[in-house]
């Protein structure tokens, strides 16, 4: 799944079947309870949570893996991921 925006615009992730969840630059003060509840479900099922964010606080602190990128380099990181996926 790719999530960009609000749950009420694009729908909720499939929390019950997700095995690998990536958070990109999530600011906790901008999100509401649905993501907190969803992350709780993922952690209870031992799904892998990866966070890409300059700061390791809040949601990022509970991630299984944290990638502390430099602010403003999110787009470059995503392009690098796409590059590697296309090479595979």
Query: Each residue of 28-57: pLDDT tens digit?
Result: 655 567 788 888 999 999 999 999 999 888
* Domain coordinates in residue numbering, the chain: 7-87
Hey, what CATH topology would domain 7-87 get?
Dimethylsulfoxide Reductase; domain 2 (3.40.228)
Statement: residue 27 has pLDDT above 80: no
Mean pLDDT of 47-69: 91
Average pLDDT score over residue span 1-26 = 75
Cα separation, 69 vs 55, in Å, equals: 9
Q: Which long-range contacts (CB under 8 A, 24 or more apart) does 9-16 make?
A: 12/38, 13/38, 15/41, 15/42, 16/41
Prediction pTM value: 0.77
**The pLDDT value given to residue 36:** 82
- Residue pair 52/74 in contact by the 8 Å Cβ criterion: yes
């Amino acid at each position: 799944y790719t999530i960009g925006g609000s749950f009420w615009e694009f729908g909720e992730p499939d929390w019950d079947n997700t095995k690998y969840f990536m958070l990109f630059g999530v600011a906790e003060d901008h999100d509401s309870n649905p993501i907190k509840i969803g992350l709780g479900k993922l952690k209870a099922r031992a799904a892998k949570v990866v966070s890409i964010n300059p700061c390791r606080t809040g949601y990022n602190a509970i991630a299984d893996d944290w990638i502390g990128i430099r602010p403003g380099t999110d787009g470059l990181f995503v392009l690098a991921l796409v590059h590697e996926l296309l090479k595979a």
